Structure 1
Amino acid sequence: MQPANPRILTINGGSSSIKFALFEGGDSRRVVEGAISRIGLSEATLRVKGANPADNVSLSLSAPDYAAAVSVLMSWVEGHNKRDALTAVGHRVVHGGPKYREAQRITVVMVRELHEFSPFDPEHMPEELLLIEAFHRRFPDLPQIACFDTAFHHDLPRVAQLLPIPRRYEAQGLRRYGFHGLSYSSLMEQLVSQGDPTATAGRVILAHLGSGASLAAVRDGKSVDTSMGFTPAAGVPMSTRSGDVDPGLVWYLARTEKMTAKQFNEMVNARSGLLGISETSSDMRDLLACEPRDVRAAEAVGLFCYQVKKWIGAFAAALGGMDTLVFAGGIGENSPPVRTRICDGLGFLGIELDETHNAENRAVISKAAGRVAVRVIHTDEEQMIAKMVGAVVSLN
């Protein structure tokens, strides 16, 4: 049974950062949020902001690797746990593999299986498992809950799951999984709370556009397709990820540059996308600022908007039309010029922006007479993790 005033810590571990937040009460009220950033680089930082001024922290630290950053986080958590005991910890786990589809308590068996799934996403899973195991060592009696980023897409139609490679690989778990599921769950929940009937009985395209970017096609509240596939590197170009590329590049670069599979993986995940095309920055804000005088920046922005537009068209075809388009993520929520370029020319689908509303980042940026409602929604993965954890804890 859930305590009267639960205290839930959410953990969102990335390859070079760890975001965390503390929620209190049955309504999952956020009271503290923070992050350890620039892990593995010089001048890593710990920043914490809380309702209580005493919780505020901003300092430089040494975090040459992920283990060092985890140690810093454990010390911070230990101080809070002594003052007000935590009820549970919720982890964003990027990959649930073919088995895990619902948030649930982490067990020894689950950890062993997640290690087996680790090759599915070597960019994220090892660090996430390091965090889970560190919490278990430091707080062995504290319940830990895994919230899977692939769960939202777990029941994709079979035609959207299949990879067009020899069938025998499917038995090894090779299929299209999709990611950003916690974000999409948050967006769909907010659509329901906003009274949009298409959230439960309609055709919705969700565009999570940030440093990682993907789109999802949703019919009657269920995911029917998504742009990311077996790994988060697939789909549209991102800050440093390539998105979809011709698989023949692997063999070509192996022959012409002696590039290994590991080097190719590093290239498409860390040196491609906006950074690779612009050769200057992975940040959309930087590229928009300098595109008038830098053709490389202009081409990076143009490619991003073009590819997102193509996916919207593809998903409209998969859905047989569309009723609602949602922009979310750092770019989707905060860049009116990018939204304009993506939507330009999509009038045939019923998308018509009100440019004044778009420039003001309003909640609804489409014209009142437009057939498609175009919305801007702040996605909140941490809040969604807290709610999922609260639901699991209340059942135990």
Structure 2
Amino acid sequence: MSARQQAIIAVNAGSSSLKFALYPYLADGSTGAATLSGGIDGLEPDGQPALALRTASASIKQALPTTPGDSFEQALTALRGILRQHAGDVEVLAIAHRIVHGGERYAQSVLLDAATLAELRALAPLAPLHQPHNLDGVEAFQRAYPGLPQVGCFDTSFHASMGPLEQNFALPQALRREGIRRYGFHGLSYRYVAARLAEHSERAGDRVLMAHLGNGASVCAMRNGASSATSMGFSALDGLMMGTRSGALDPGVLLHLLRQGWDCARIEAMLYKQSGLLGVSGVSADMRTLRASEQPEAAFAIELFVHRLVRECGALTATLGGVDLLAFTGGIGEHDAALRQAACEQLGFLGLRVDPARNREADGNSIMAIHASSSSVEIWVVPTDEGRVAAGDAAALLGTMTR
């Protein structure tokens, strides 16, 4: 009789969605590639929950039944059913949670308890779109899996290696002592991309730019495998233009709006939910929809997105003193060949040359180099797997608990 497969579930809980993946826990204490992954959307009030599931042999999309009560709790019930049906006889050892903000204290993944959750709740104003929902997810999983280790894995942790010149704003020191500084985000994604690059390129330890481009977007400068600078700062609003977020903005604009009578809630909604690709185009926050649109505003939104990316890459290249490798990841970075081509052409003064055929071939299913032989900078497309990093951290913590 074969032993039960042990595994770790990595989850990312949002305001209206739950993303999940199941990673086998291996005999050496590491984790293997996900055996199933997916998400449940439509968990907002009056929403219609829908499941998207991928396994080694199938891709499933279906609506889920709705009943009165907490929709997130219903999603967890659905998840347990999914595991029974599609994962076989699996023993879940831990839940690894992606949490956007670890503040100044949490530079490593940790086991979550009541005291830790209370500290992390205090950071919610720094990431209001993500942090509260991440932590609500933790508490829901604690109820669903009582006694099972819950592990917090922080997007800010990767950037703890940034020096004081990158961490500090030109603000009074009293505010710095209150924790107002640059933190950086998308750290789990950058950790995964950095590890994959190290496996495939001899330049991975040199001057590297990684561009995580999706509904949230940022660029990270890395040297010797560690973050040295990044476009996001105190909050997940800074830096690049995003799906619905503005990116970097003159603070004078906010002062002007306040004088015009805007309150904090209205400004926050505008910056987080009504700006970016959606706000500029007036069409959609989805790059695929904009590509298919004939509206000139959609084309301009794409052009502005590329411009902001190129501008930020140029600034971060200056902090590195040059660039040896550029990697694209995230939903847009992995799948939009036209955007990669446009960005690299505008960065051609740095020596970037794309191989058009290889760029078109790169579809986000596997890591792939897309630079031409004449390029002095390597260019890679690296499908990210934030859940694999979170599951690996949970596995490492499990190892310390059993020694």
Give TM-score scaled by structure 1 length.
0.92
Corresponding residue of 1:222: 226
Corresponding residue of 1:313: 314
**Contact 1:325/1:375 (<8 A) preserved:** yes
The structure-2 alpha-carbon separation of the partners of 1:29 and 1:341, relative to structure 1 and needing over 3 Å to count, comes to closer
Structure 1 unaligned segments of length 5 or more: list them. Answer: none
**Contact 2:222/2:229 (<8 A) preserved:** yes
Q: 255, 263, 267: which is aligned to 1:264?
A: 267
- Distance, in Å, in 2 between the alignment partners of 1:165 and 1:232 is 19
The structure-2 alpha-carbon separation of the partners of 1:193 and 1:166, relative to structure 1 and needing over 3 Å to count, comes to same
Corresponding residue of 2:70: 68
3-state SS of the aligned residue for 2:161?
coil
Corresponding residue of 1:124: 130
**Contact 2:5/2:91 (<8 A) preserved:** no
Which residues of 2 match residues 180-219 of structure 1 at below 5 A?
180-194=186-200, 196-200=201-205, 202-219=206-223
**Contact 1:28/1:386 (<8 A) preserved:** no
Matched letter for residue 20 of structure 1: F
Corresponding residue of 1:349: 350
Residue deviations 1:277-300 (CA, integer Å, cap 9, x gap): 00011111111222xx32211110
Which residues of 2 match residues 138-157 of structure 1 at below 5 A?
138-157=144-163
**Contact 1:242/1:273 (<8 A) preserved:** yes
Matched letter for residue 288 of structure 2: R
Q: CA deviation at 1:138?
A: 2.9
Residue deviations 1:91-121 (CA, integer Å, cap 9, x gap): 0010001100111211222111111222221
- Distance, in Å, in 1 between the alignment partners of 2:337 and 2:273 is 26
Matched, 1:391 2:402: no
Matched letter for residue 17 of structure 1: S
**Contact 2:11/2:18 (<8 A) preserved:** yes
Q: CA deviation at 1:58?
A: 2.1
- Distance, in Å, in 2 between the alignment partners of 1:56 and 1:289 is 26
Greater mean deviation of Cα atoms: 340-349 or 237-246: 340-349
**Contact 1:240/1:276 (<8 A) preserved:** yes
Q: Number of residues paired by the alignment?
A: 386
**Contact 2:4/2:91 (<8 A) preserved:** no
Structure 2 unaligned segments of length 5 or more: list them. Answer: none
- Distance, in Å, in 1 between the alignment partners of 2:4 and 2:74 is 30
- Distance, in Å, in 2 between the alignment partners of 1:126 and 1:117 is 9
- Distance, in Å, in 2 between the alignment partners of 1:63 and 1:340 is 47
Q: 250, 253, 256: which is aligned to 2:254?
A: 250
Q: CA deviation at 1:376?
A: 0.7
Q: CA deviation at 1:206?
A: 0.2
Query: Identity of aligned pairs, percent?
Result: 36
Residue deviations 1:318-352 (CA, integer Å, cap 9, x gap): 00001000011111111111111111232221111
Which residues of 2 match residues 23-38 of structure 1 at below 5 A?
23-26=23-26, 27-38=31-42
Corresponding residue of 1:176: 182
**Contact 1:229/1:235 (<8 A) preserved:** yes
- Distance, in Å, in 1 between the alignment partners of 2:209 and 2:303 is 21
Matched, 1:239 2:240: no
The structure-2 alpha-carbon separation of the partners of 1:158 and 1:60, relative to structure 1 and needing over 3 Å to count, comes to same
Residue deviations 1:45-71 (CA, integer Å, cap 9, x gap): 133333477x9672244499xx83320
Q: CA deviation at 1:154?
A: 1.3
Q: 58, 63, 66: which is aligned to 2:62?
A: 58
Matched letter for residue 204 of structure 2: A
Corresponding residue of 2:329: 328
- Distance, in Å, in 2 between the alignment partners of 1:33 and 1:17 is 14
- Distance, in Å, in 1 between the alignment partners of 2:67 and 2:245 is 24
Corresponding residue of 1:137: 143
Q: CA deviation at 1:217?
A: 0.2
Matched, 1:89 2:95: yes
Matched, 1:44 2:49: yes
- Distance, in Å, in 2 between the alignment partners of 1:272 and 1:60 is 31
Give TM-score scaled by structure 2 length.
0.90
- Distance, in Å, in 2 between the alignment partners of 1:35 and 1:68 is 17
3-state SS of the aligned residue for 1:374?
strand
- Distance, in Å, in 2 between the alignment partners of 1:316 and 1:91 is 32
The structure-2 alpha-carbon separation of the partners of 1:221 and 1:144, relative to structure 1 and needing over 3 Å to count, comes to same
Q: CA deviation at 1:155?
A: 2.2
Corresponding residue of 1:12: 12
Corresponding residue of 1:114: 120
- Distance, in Å, in 2 between the alignment partners of 1:115 and 1:279 is 34
Greater mean deviation of Cα atoms: 99-108 or 296-305: 99-108
The structure-2 alpha-carbon separation of the partners of 1:394 and 1:5, relative to structure 1 and needing over 3 Å to count, comes to farther
3-state SS of the aligned residue for 2:369?
coil
3-state SS of the aligned residue for 1:145?
strand
Q: CA deviation at 1:78?
A: 4.2
- Distance, in Å, in 2 between the alignment partners of 1:224 and 1:193 is 21
- Distance, in Å, in 2 between the alignment partners of 1:145 and 1:390 is 10
Matched, 1:280 2:283: yes
The structure-2 alpha-carbon separation of the partners of 1:72 and 1:83, relative to structure 1 and needing over 3 Å to count, comes to farther
- Distance, in Å, in 2 between the alignment partners of 1:51 and 1:220 is 35
3-state SS of the aligned residue for 1:304?
helix
Residue deviations 1:147-172 (CA, integer Å, cap 9, x gap): 11100001211100012222211122
The structure-2 alpha-carbon separation of the partners of 1:47 and 1:361, relative to structure 1 and needing over 3 Å to count, comes to closer
3-state SS of the aligned residue for 1:87?
strand
Matched letter for residue 269 of structure 2: E
